[in-house]
Chains A and B, each alone.
Chain A
Amino acid sequence: MTAIDKRVSTPIIWLLLLTMPYWMDAVGGYTELACRVVVLGLAAMAVNFLLGFTGVLSFGHAAYFGLGAYGAAMTIKYLFPSTALAILLGVVVGTVAAAVIGALIRKLRGTYFAMVTIAFGQVFYFIVFRWNTVTGGDDGITGWSRQPLNLGFTTIDILHDDKAFYFMVLAFFALAVGLMALLLRSPLGRTLVAIRENERRARFLGVPIERHIWLSFVISGGFAALAGALFALLSNFTDPRSLHWTLSGNFVIMAVLGGMRSFWGPLLGAAIFVVLQDYVSSHTENWMSFIGLFFVLVVTFFPRGILGIIKRRLGQ
């Protein structure tokens, strides 16, 4: 049943993503909102690589997201005006940070792991917040914008054509998500799922657990950094809030809301989160309490997330 589900659901998801800028307006949205769904969806899927497929909860992934954003912004502002280079350096910065932090915390488990990821996340947040001369402090990095994409044979103006920018974002999303799917279907991915399922059994099958948790943390952090880099390019701006722990919490909420045991769940969670945020926040300042209430309802009644309940309905 699940095999058939996938054969139908995956093309539908891609079809929706490919056509999103064309029907977003009709349903009251706009292209930038579509970009936000895809970028934050990628971040939530990155968090879920660790949470849903390795069984490790990180409450500090905004740090790598934010470092990706700052890496991209500072590359264009100070180093070289190239969108591609900005994304590359953003990913490198975030991934290296995840590799260092991951190495320090890989022996911790459960709540302790989550707490320490928050703590390290906040360390990065405060560094960026306070280091005025380099990071612009509270004001963030302004006065730069994403650069036209030079493909050699042609140049795409992603700065003014927001649909073109959307498709660039989607291309990176597709690359990342395809890589994720490939990894999860490989022996490495199965080893990670085995750790989620039963760490003790995995250890006594001969898996060096800490090394694999570290690996998963780095991969996950790298994808989060990519999302962060794209997020900075989306708004031509980045500020310390992109590293704040509340954003880390939002990523986890998106993943759990959509369904952390399913591959696409976090994307659905991100879509709901972003659209709800956009819609509710235009009516009330207290939009977070509505999302919080919605989250509590979903977790209480559909512990497998929204995609989990859809799958179950289809399966029966």
Chain B
Amino acid sequence: MSLLEVRNASRHFGSLVAVNNVSLMVQPGELRAVIGPNGAGKTTFFNLISGFFPPTSGSIHFDGKDITNWEPHVRVSHGIARTFQITEIFPELTVRENLRVAVEVAMGLRNRPWLSREADAQIRARVGELMEMGGLAAKADRLASEMPHGDQRAIEIMMSIALRPRLLLLDEPTAGMGDQETYDITRLVRKLHRDEKLSIVLIEHDMRVIFHLADRIMVLAEGEVLAEGTPQEIAKDERVQAAYLGKTE
């Protein structure tokens, strides 16, 4: 059974059709890339999966359940986590505090007005583990807003990992990054995919990153699925080349 199944999803904004009749199946453990020219509807598609807004028509199923109309926080508690194109973190909190909030919410403690010593120790340990995994341990007590872009992205990804998701949605994780940062983030994503056996859907523009990471690629153009296949198949696809060249022309 597939982990995520999007069936004929469409999303209209007035007369604009941002996503038109898109279907997608993601298997457990798969790393799927979604590519396409600007304005192709990639982020809108992500918003449908993560529950930012519901689809105008079509349905979304996760782990066999129809989640089409679920609130975002309910989807999160069932294992769907996401990052955003423009990094969304808690700027005036330290790296440690950023992760701590995520860990506490993940442990179902967000309503708790008090904390036992054991729970506190457990939280600290988990936060430490996540900072280690994300390469953030040395910068634990710095304010998130003071960190370079790549580190902020790592914080956002590790906050999502704190939720122990079964599906991670990454919206252009290397956007606006230099070569070294792109490399670091790519390595982090691959580590999470390989070591943690995490299923990932990834929007990305950097083709090196995609060919390095993705098992399969879905190409969107003007809200519709243009092609789907392995990286090799997509690279050879003439319609895909035309769509990209047509845009840059």
Contacts and interface: CB of A to CB of B under 8 A. Distances in A.
Contacts of B89: 198, 201
Interface string A189-211: 11101100110111111111100
A206 B163 contact: yes
Q: A189, A205, A208: which has the most chain B beta carbons within 10 Å?
A: A205
Given A194-B90, A198-B89, A204 B81 contact: yes
B105 A207 contact: yes
A203 B93 contact: no
Contacts of B72: 203-204, 206
A188 B108 CA distance: 11
Given A186-B114, A188-B111, A208 B71 contact: yes
Contact of B73 (A186, A198, A208): A208
Interface residues of B, number: 32
Contact of A190 (B71, B82, B91, B101): B101
B76 A187 contact: no
A183 B156 CA distance: 26
Contacts of B114: 182, 186
B184 interface: no
A205 B97 contact: no
B94 to A, nearest CB: 11
B151 to A, nearest CB: 16
Interface string B75-115: 01100011010001111110001001110111001111111
A183 B90 contact: no
Grouping DSSP codes into helix (H, G, I), strand (E, B) and loop, the A interface class, with mixed when no group exceeds half, is helix
Contacts of A311: none
B115 A187 contact: yes
Contact of B104 (A191, A197, A198, A201): A191
Contacts of A183: 113
A207 B84 contact: no
Nearest to A189: B113
B76 A206 contact: yes
Nearest to B123: A187
Given A186-B115, A187-B115, A212 B84 contact: no
A206 B76 CA distance: 5
Contacts of A200: 84, 88
A191 B101 contact: yes
Contacts, number: 84
B20 interface: no
Nearest to A186: B113
A202 B110 CA distance: 11
A190 B97 CA distance: 8
A208 B82 CA distance: 16
A206 B105 contact: yes
A187 B93 contact: no
A202 B73 CA distance: 9
Contacts of A208: 71, 73
A151 to B, nearest CB: 28
Contacts of B163: 205-206
B50 interface: yes
B84 to A, nearest CB: 7
Q: B81, B82, B88, B92: which has the most chain A beta carbons within 10 Å?
A: B88
A204 B93 contact: no
A190 B88 contact: no
Given A194-B101, A197-B91, A200-B88, A206 B106 contact: yes
Nearest to B156: A201
Contacts of B104: 187, 190-191
A187 B112 contact: yes
Nearest to A190: B101
Q: What 3 A-B pairs come out closest when comparing CB atoms?
A: A206-B76, A197-B90, A201-B88
Interface of A: 182-183, 186-191, 193-194, 197-198, 200-209, 212, 215
Interface of B: 50, 71-73, 76-77, 81-82, 84, 88-93, 97, 100-102, 104-106, 109-115, 156, 159, 163
22 contacts: A186-B114, A187-B104, A187-B112, A188-B110, A188-B111, A189-B113, A191-B110, A191-B111, A193-B93, A193-B101, A194-B101, A201-B90, A201-B156, A201-B159, A204-B73, A204-B84, A205-B159, A205-B163, A206-B73, A207-B105, A208-B71, A215-B111
Given A201-B156, A205-B76, A206-B106, 14 more contacts: A183-B113, A186-B113, A188-B110, A188-B113, A191-B110, A194-B90, A194-B93, A197-B90, A203-B73, A205-B81, A206-B73, A206-B163, A207-B73, A215-B111
